[in-house]
Structures are given as C-alpha cells and as structure tokens.
C-alpha cells in the first residue's frame, strides 16, 4: 500500500498523540444519503458510525489498527451511489463498505462492489432478495417485519380482511406484495391494494375506497417522511379508526406526528425502550458523546453501529483484512449490541428479534410483544448452508 502525504501526516499525528502504535489504518467506507430522500435519517447513521469508530479506537482498534471512516454522499439515488461507490472503492481503496442506503442506491452500488471485491455490509431494512457474494445484511426484510403485525391483528382483533396502501416504488410495492401473500397464506383476504406516486399527496380517493371496503385492518407502506404524514393525517381527518399498521414509520416520526399517530402499530428490530444492559450503555455513551446534537438512535442507525462491530469481529476471526477471508468469517461471527446478539448466518441475512410497538398518546412507543429470532426466510438460497 502506498501512503499519500495526507495519510502519512495522519499516521505521524497518531504516533505523536497515542502511545499505542498504529502501524496501519482500516478504512471503512460509508456511502449514505446526506442529501435527497434519506437526508433526514442519514445524520443519525453517521453519528452511530462515529461512535462505533471512537469506541473501537479507544479500545486499541482492530488487530492494533486504527479505524478511519470515509463518508460519501450518495444523494439517496442510483447516480449519486455510482459516484460514491466508485470513489470509495477505487480512489479511497476502503477495506469495507458499511451503510444504510435506499434500494436504488444499493442496486447501483452492488456491481461496483462486486468488481472491486470489497466486503459490503448493508444496514438498512429493505424489500428483500438482494444477493451478492460480497454483501451481508443485518437489518430486517418483509418476512421479519410484516408477520408480527399481521399475526397480532388476526389474533387480537380477529381481523380477516385487510386493506393495503403504499407509495409506488420498490420498497412500498415489495412490502405490500409480501403482506398480501402472508395475509392470504394465513387465511385472510386482501380487499384492496392501492398506490400513489411518491410525490403524491392527495389520498382522497384511496381513503374513500378503504372506507367503502369495510376492511378489518389497514397496513400501509409509504415512503418515509411527507407521504407517510399526509396519508396518516388524511386518514385521521376521514375518521379511519380501524387497527392501523404502518410499515414505514419510525419512533422519531411517530413522536412528532402527535395525536394523529396515536394507536398506530409498528414493528422494528430496534426501539429505544429495549431493556438490556447493552442498549442502556449504548444510549448513555451516545448521549455523553454527542450531547445536545444527538439524533435519537433508530432502526437504521443501530444496525449501522452493530455492523461496524461485526466487521471488527470478522477481521479478528480471519486474522487479516483480506476481503475473501473477511467475507468467509462474517457468516460465523456474532455481535451482542443494543438489539441483542446477532449473527448474519441465514443466507447472508440475520435472524432478528422483532418488537411490535404501539404509539401511545404521549408519542412514546410501547412494546406490546417481542418475537425472538424471527427468521428472514429464503433470501439468497445460493448462499445457504
């Protein structure tokens, strides 16, 4: 490896500052949507990455090597992702890519990852079935998220008929297609499945169809942010009060939506209220590090934090940063973090403990039920076993 003047300076500075001698650094590339649709959540992902890097470096690094983060904006889309991945893989020559991204950005980046033979840990929940010999996923897929909500509606409310509403894009349609097949496989009926374009804001006709259908329960999967808010507001204004599961709302958004969000069911692999020593230590450490600037940790930023530790464990198990050795080791290593103990051993995906929560009148999310180690199902059969 050739050192450029800047990194020589960094090493010299590290030598001067710390008695622990850093022979080399491990570069972690983080392509993330600092602008565009993901810009609201991306800063929390950068924060949790910085926190993980700081913890690891304070404890001596990985195999004695310091961790260095390289954050690149992918503009939440395909074109930006191509630039970000090319620059990280070929110019920065990062050892690993770890990031939460939109599905469009991930799909655009994967060919570059494959060509550059760079390990990639994807940390965002997504619609499932994205496979690459160089990629692992530690967040949930529809199989894990939809089941808790549908099961609860069927058991608690005796719901037989469902109405599905979403935004017209890969994640929205993917989630609802799975929901439909899951509902039908469990003896329920889907009375309607309707979509609005991502920038659409007038849900009038869909809400009228929903009310006319007389469905027992509603499940929505919109794009995050504005579409989710407009749909929820208009549902409430139209007096819709059936059981309402929202596949796209997170704790923070639910909190700021106020009264309109009350009663909504969500399912997530992370909620801040998880009662474990690891989660408490994580939240305290984050608060101490970022103070008033802290963005509430969420179901996207926590998997990012854990993925950096998964990479650390894999490098330590492999004894080097050799890409193939790390990929082979990632299958076996476990990380115990805020979400519990997680191993990405299910066809490159991870069995996860899922929490079914309901938004309370004060905006907090109350955990109704937890589902231990929900299996992601058949995601990438070519990597089975």
Q: Give the residue from 351, 357, 354 showing the smallest Cα distance to 334.
A: 351
The Cα diameter of the chain in Å comes to 72
For other proteins, the closer of residues 28 and 295 by Cβ is 295
Q: Candidates 59-67, 72-80, 116-124, 252-260 — which segment interacts with other proteins by CB under 8 A?
A: 252-260
Name the minimum Å distance from CB 168 to other proteins.
Answer: 6
Q: Give the residue from 189, 192, 194 showing the smallest Cα distance to 161.
A: 189
Burial category of 177 from C-beta neighbours within 10 Å (exposed 0-12, middle 13-18, buried 19 and up):
middle
Name the minimum Å distance from CB 282 to other proteins.
Answer: 24
Q: Does 225 bind other proteins (CB under 8 A)?
A: yes
Residue 281's CB: how many other CB atoms inside 10 A?
Answer: 12
Name the minimum Å distance from CB 228 to other proteins.
Answer: 8
Name the minimum Å distance from CB 136 to other proteins.
Answer: 30
Q: Does 196 bind other proteins (CB under 8 A)?
A: yes
For other proteins, the closer of residues 40 and 283 by Cβ is 40
For other proteins, the closer of residues 22 and 37 by Cβ is 37
Residues in CB range of 69: below 8 A, 6 or more apart: 27, 28, 30, 49, 50, 53
For other proteins, the closer of residues 263 and 377 by Cβ is 263
Q: Give the residue from 197, 189, 127 showing the smallest Cα distance to 163.
A: 189
Name the minimum Å distance from CB 206 to other proteins.
Answer: 5
For other proteins, the closer of residues 200 and 323 by Cβ is 200
CA distances from 153 to 25, 179, 364 (A): 50, 13, 20
Q: Does 328 bind other proteins (CB under 8 A)?
A: no
In whole angstroms, give the CA distance from residue 136 to residue 297: 22
Q: Does 264 bind other proteins (CB under 8 A)?
A: no
Burial category of 1 from C-beta neighbours within 10 Å (exposed 0-12, middle 13-18, buried 19 and up):
exposed
Site for other proteins in 39-98 (CB under 8 A): 39-40
Q: Give the residue from 32, 30, 31, 25 showing the smallest Cα distance to 57.
A: 25
Name the minimum Å distance from CB 225 to other proteins.
Answer: 5
Q: Does 229 bind other proteins (CB under 8 A)?
A: yes
Q: Does 214 bind other proteins (CB under 8 A)?
A: no
Residue with tokens 């979400």: 339
Q: Does 262 bind other proteins (CB under 8 A)?
A: no
Q: Does 213 bind other proteins (CB under 8 A)?
A: no
Name the minimum Å distance from CB 17 to other proteins.
Answer: 35
Footprint of other proteins (CB under 8 A): 39-40, 168, 194-197, 199-206, 208-209, 211-212, 225-226, 229-230, 233-234, 236-239, 253, 256-260
């Amino acid at each position: 490896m050739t050192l450029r003047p800047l990194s020589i300076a960094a090493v010299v500075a590290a030598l001067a500052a710390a008695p622990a001698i850093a022979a080399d650094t491990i570069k972690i590339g983080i392509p993330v949507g600092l602008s565009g649709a993901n810009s609201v959540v991306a800063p929390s992902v950068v924060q949790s990455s910085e926190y993980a890097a700081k913890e690891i470096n304070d404890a001596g690094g990985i195999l004695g090597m310091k961790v260095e983060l390289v954050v690149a904006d992918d503009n939440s889309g395909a074109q930006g992702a191509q630039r970000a991945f090319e620059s990280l893989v070929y110019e920065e020559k990062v050892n690993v890519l770890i990031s939460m991204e939109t599905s469009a950005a991930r799909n655009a980046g994967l060919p570059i990852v494959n060509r550059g033979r760079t390990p990639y840990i994807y940390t965002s929940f997504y619609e499932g079935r994205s496979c690459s010999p160089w990629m692992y996923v530690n967040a949930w897929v529809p199989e894990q998220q939809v089941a808790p909500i549908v099961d609860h509606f069927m058991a608690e409310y005796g719901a037989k008929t469902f109405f599905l509403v979403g935004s017209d894009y890969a994640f929205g349609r993917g989630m609802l297609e799975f929901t439909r097949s899951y509902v039908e496989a469990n003896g329920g009926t889907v009375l309607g499945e309707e979509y609005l374009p991502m920038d659409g804001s007038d849900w009038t006709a869909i809400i009228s169809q929903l009310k006319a259908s007389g469905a027992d329960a509603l499940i929505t999967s919109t794009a995050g942010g504005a579409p989710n808010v407009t749909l929820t507001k208009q549902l409430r204004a139209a007096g819709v009060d059936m059981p309402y599961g929202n596949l796209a709302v997170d704790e923070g958004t639910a909190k700021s939506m106020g009264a309109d969000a009350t009663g909504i069911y969500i399912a997530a692999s992370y909620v801040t209220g998880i009662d474990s020593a690891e989660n408490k230590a994580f939240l305290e450490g984050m608060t101490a590090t970022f103070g008033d600037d802290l963005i509430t940790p969420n179901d996207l930023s926590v998997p990012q934090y854990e993925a950096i530790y998964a990479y650390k464990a894999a490098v330590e198990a492999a004894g080097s940063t050799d890409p193939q050795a790390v990929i082979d080791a990632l299958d076996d290593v476990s990380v115990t973090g805020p979400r519990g103990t997680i191993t990405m051993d299910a066809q490159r995906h991870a069995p996860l403990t899922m929490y079914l929560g309901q938004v309370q009148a004060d905006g907090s999310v109350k955990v109704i039920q937890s589902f231990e180690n929900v299996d992601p199902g058949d995601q990438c059969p070519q990597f089975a076993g």
